[in-house]
Amino acid sequence: MTAKQTVQQEDLFKLKSVTNPVLAPDSSEAVFVVTQIDKEENIYHAHLHHLDVNTGNSTQWTYGKERVSQPKWSPDGSQLAFLSTRDDKNQLYVMHSTGGEARKLTDYQNGVGSFLWSPCGTKIWLTSTVIDGKTFTDKEEKDEKKQPEALRVTTMKYKADGAGFVKNDRHSQIGCLDLESEEITAFTEDPFHHSLQAVSHCGKKLVIGVNRAENNDFDFRQPLVLVDVETKEETVLVDEQGYFGGAAFSRDDRYIAYGGSDRTFENATHSALYVYDCENKTTLNLTEALDAPVGDAVVADHQQGPNPPEAVWTEGNYLYFQVTTMGDVRLYFADLDGSLYPASPESEHVYDYDVAKNGQFALAAISDPVNPGELYRLDIATGERKALTSFNETYVADTILVKPDTIQLEGAGGFDIHGWLMKPANYKEGSKYPLVVNIHGGPHAMYGNSFFHEMQVLAAQGWGVLYVNPRGSHGYSQAFVDAVRGDYGGGDYQDIMDALDDVLEQQDWIDKDRLGVTGGSYGGFMTNWIVGHTDRFKAAVTQRSISNWISFFGVSDIGYYFSDWQIKADMTDVDTLWKHSPLKYAEHVKTPLLILHSENDLRCPIEQAEQLYITLKSMHKETEFVRFPEADHNLSRTGKPNLRITRLNELTGWFEKYL
């Protein structure tokens, strides 16, 4: 019998991400997407698989060096459409459900963003970015000798992390593609971004999202409108500051469900599930009594491209949707009379799903801390479940995976602090081990009961791992998630340190003289803050961090409003911005600090790392700086595979050196 192996950095190449389950109209079969990293090519492959729901037999349907996404069955189940990058840009393909080669339907300059079947099954609605005044099929003229051109900037939202500079002469438009002729008819042409939300079952109505403000620098709306396909007459469903989307028609087309959050607490506001009654023209907040956010707020590093629906309607006008709560993401049920209850168990992460039309079962992609994720059939009435895939079964069987223990303590201000503690993979009773505190980003996100490769890597090195959800994290009360705003480095810092003190008191295996701390984004900010306010940590690694709120205001793609929302200060109050800036406290840093940052990060631009590094060096502090080319803010989750491995090696190497 072969001995089990500890988790390694390069296990990223062994793991498979199972996502995008979509049931056929008769619910007897389904398709889903499996993503794996190609080590030699240094790229991600995502392929379409077919599943017999009753037998659990699955078959791979697509191959090659491509990424497939957004699979959708035709209304009669005879065809399947999906997006694929097999020719570089995401283009639309259709194949027969009985098999055969997929037919490429589009060859647009900027690819296809999203699509929905028309109920007739002969047309497909889709979105693509189109140059103003051009058509879907027009292509930009290429001049091989073209000289570099200056970029004129007239708005504040002129760049976006992961996308680069935003060109203001092109917008996302909606068109209708005829499958037989392959000709597309433009449905929208105005110079605004349009999102395709839903098509009614009768085929006569669309729900689209569009903000027609001439300048949206301080406008954070995506109004949802119900549009008559023939007359283009519009009925507004929602038009207020906030984020709304994911619309879906009920089976009888009377109701439209959608998710979203207003700006009562800016971007800390809980998301809710709303239902619009097309007959009475009234809107109901179905989750108003639920003090937890609708959707999935878990942060992890394994699942690739999950695309769960905002809500799924079943017969009888019942709804199913995700709720983030107490470290879990659970499937919930609701009806229009106010009933609301969970439809999946605790202690797991339902990260993607679909529900049969009759509501008898769900097809769910589920993970937990020692399960990278598989598809399961969940019987709604009995709660029974059946595993339908086993893509990571061999990996789990052959690998030492550490199951974390849940911790909970009373924090400052009466808030309960919730988190997890992992023992080292090689733990032996009576021995002492270092501990690494790992802090999530956001801050309005959540560590959860989900597989996290990075955590397992740290435990495999022989260290304990503590990760908690301090105030500001999602998954708890509205008061809890809002409590961090205007108090960065206050109660949130106290929550983390209180949790650390609690486990040090309770666990005698932790060597209190060998503590490390790390985190990314907001977690990077907090790592910087911690080393400037205490010297109890022997090593720290800050990733994609914020060090200076004054410069962040002007250089981040979201800085000019995020600073106001989160720090509650702008450039008219630089004293407050500086008060909350870790750079201010650089002279107090005694902890050896490794700085990891992506060069193309526009969310927390690399100048934040540069300022911190040069300042610490000028003060003769112990620090090093690692820059990652061709990487943005999401390096640790979706970055180039070789750089993800390098990042993990740098992280573990620094702690190995100092712990």
- 435, part of any domain: yes
Asked if omega into 443 is within 30° of 0 (cis), the reply is yes
Please tell me the predicted confidence (pLDDT) of residue 1.
Answer: 56
Which one, of 528, 518, 557, 484, lies nearest residue 636 by Cα? 518
Grouping H, G, I as helix, E, B as strand and the rest as coil, residue 658 is helix
- Quote the CA–CA distance of 230 and 227 in Å, as a whole number: 9
Task: Report CA torsion sign: 326, 332, 334, 339.
Answer: negative
- 431, part of any domain: yes
- 453, part of any domain: yes
Q: Around Cβ 73, how many Cβ atoms within 10 Å?
A: 21
| Residues tagged active-site | 521, 633
Question: Count of domains in the chain?
Answer: 1
Grouping H, G, I as helix, E, B as strand and the rest as coil, residue 398 is helix
Stretches in the chain below the pLDDT threshold 50 = none
Q: CATH no. for residue 472?
A: 3.40.50.1820
The two tokens of residue 638 are 């979706």
Contact (Cβ atoms closer than 8 angstroms) between residue 288 and residue 3 = no
- 287, part of any domain: no
Task: Spell out a b/e string for 333-359, using b for 16 or more CB atoms within 10 Å of the CB, else e.
Answer: bbebeeebeebbeeebbbbbbbbbeeb
- 279, part of any domain: no
**CA 642 distance to own-chain centroid:** 21
- 79, part of any domain: no
Backbone angles phi, psi at 655, to 5 degrees: -70, -35
Burial classification of residue 607, based on how many CB atoms lie within 10 Å of its CB (0-12 exposed, 13-18 middle, 19 or more buried): middle
- Quote the CA–CA distance of 299 and 276 in Å, as a whole number: 31
The two tokens of residue 355 are 């529900």
- 163, part of any domain: no
Task: Spell out a b/e string for 220-231, using b for 16 or more CB atoms within 10 Å of the CB, else e.
Answer: bbbbbbbbebee
**CA 406 distance to own-chain centroid:** 23
Q: What is the DSSP string of 499-564?
A: HHHHHHHH-TTEEEEEEEEEEETHHHHHHHHHHTT----SEEEEES----HHHHHHHSSSHHHHHH
In order of 110, 144, 428, 630, the CA distances from 141 in angstroms are 13, 10, 66, 27
Please tell me the predicted confidence (pLDDT) of residue 167.
Answer: 86
Range of the domain at 644: 396-658
- 639, part of any domain: yes
- Quote the CA–CA distance of 593 and 116 in Å, as a whole number: 49
The two tokens of residue 316 are 């009888």
Please tell me the predicted confidence (pLDDT) of residue 143.
Answer: 65
